[in-house]
Amino acid sequence: MTTISSSRRTPQKFIAENGALAGLLLLALVIAIMQPTFLSAQNLVNVGVQAAVIAIMAFGMTFVVVAGGIDLSVGSIAALAAMVGALTAGPVGLVVGALCGLVNGALISYGKLPPFIATLAMLSVARGLTLVISEGQPHETDAVVTFLGSNLAPMVPLPLLLMLLFFGITGLILTRTNLGRRMYAIGGNEEAAKLSGIDVRKQKLWIYALSGLFAAAAGLVLAGRLGSAGPQAAAGYELDAIAAVVIGGASLSGGVGRATGTLVGALVLAVLRNGLNLLQVPPFWQQVVIGAVIALAALLDSLRRR
């Protein structure tokens, strides 16, 4: 075997492989210069808490995107899980979320629906069910769910710890489990995966179930923070989750993506929102800036790959 010398870790290579991280640091630097309070411990913890819900959802989305799919239903599943959690108990919400994901997977694997369509349908169904069981009203969460959104100690918010926990689990699944390795194979070349004996259909069931489960967890954390589950909670969050995954360097054509990238992507979105607020940018303009940053991140990534 010949070895190629460029395998040494150089700073250039590190930046090339972690463009999103470089972007995050640059963004933080600019905001810190313009508004030094950004760097206060309290604010940084806030950013972490703000990132948590999207990050957890985006970790689940990472599995799906790495496997070459997309999941538009995560926002609705989060709301449904939170509502079920508020009306019964938190763990029931998690089960419901995983079941919704399983249905997505079944429609895609066995019904041969494109992921976009199957999860678009679930987006509507899960949101509708949330409205049905809540009768359109918000419901208070119980002590267990509320605890998820609380602080363990001053400056130690549980959502932040949960985000790191899910980050660890995601990294472990992607790199150290058969399911994770199969996600990369399926997303990279589904036919090759099939011809290598991977039961692609069965794997997709699990992949979408995981995404549903993660979305449910994100929904419970969100409800915990607010102390109640709302029928319109997490609406549109699926787009932020997809944006976080893409900013993190994953490819929507599948086969590429990492847990660290998604974490950084979620932090980029949170830092941006937080910074724009601190800089007192009007909320209408904030949307424009966030959209531009997403496009810029994707552009840079596409240039880098050429």
3-state SS class at 153: strand
- Stretch of 100-108, 132-140, 179-187, 222-230 contacting other proteins, by CB under 8 A: 179-187
Interacting residue with other proteins among 3, 5, 42, 280 (CB under 8 A): 3
User: What distance lies between CA 9 and its chain's CA centroid?
Assistant: 29
- Stretch of 99-107, 152-160, 176-184, 281-289 contacting other proteins, by CB under 8 A: 176-184
User: What distance lies between CA 274 and its chain's CA centroid?
Assistant: 18
**Interface with other proteins includes 181 (CB under 8 A)?**
yes
Identify which of residues 138 and 194 has a Cβ nearer to other proteins in the complex. 194
Per-residue interface string for the shown chain with other proteins, residues 184-213, x marking contact by CB under 8 A: xx-xxx-xxxxxxxxx--------------
**Interface with other proteins includes 248 (CB under 8 A)?**
no
Query: How many whole angstroms separate alpha carbon 233 and alpha carbon 237?
Result: 9
Phi first, then psi: what are they for 156, rounded to 5°?
Answer: -125, 75
Residue 60 in tokens: 């689940």
Beta carbon of residue 41, minimum distance to other proteins (angstroms, whole number) = 39
Contact of 45 with 155, CB cutoff 8 Å:
yes
**Interface with other proteins includes 2 (CB under 8 A)?**
yes
Of 221, 54, 42, whose CA–CA distance to 149 is shortest? 221
Strand partners, 153: 156
**Interface with other proteins includes 69 (CB under 8 A)?**
no
Identify which of residues 192 and 296 has a Cβ nearer to other proteins in the complex. 192
Of 24, 43, 22, whose CA–CA distance to 244 is shortest? 24
Identify which of residues 254 and 261 has a Cβ nearer to other proteins in the complex. 254
The site for other proteins (CB under 8 A) is made up of: 1-4, 7, 178, 181-182, 184-185, 187-189, 191-199, 251, 254-256
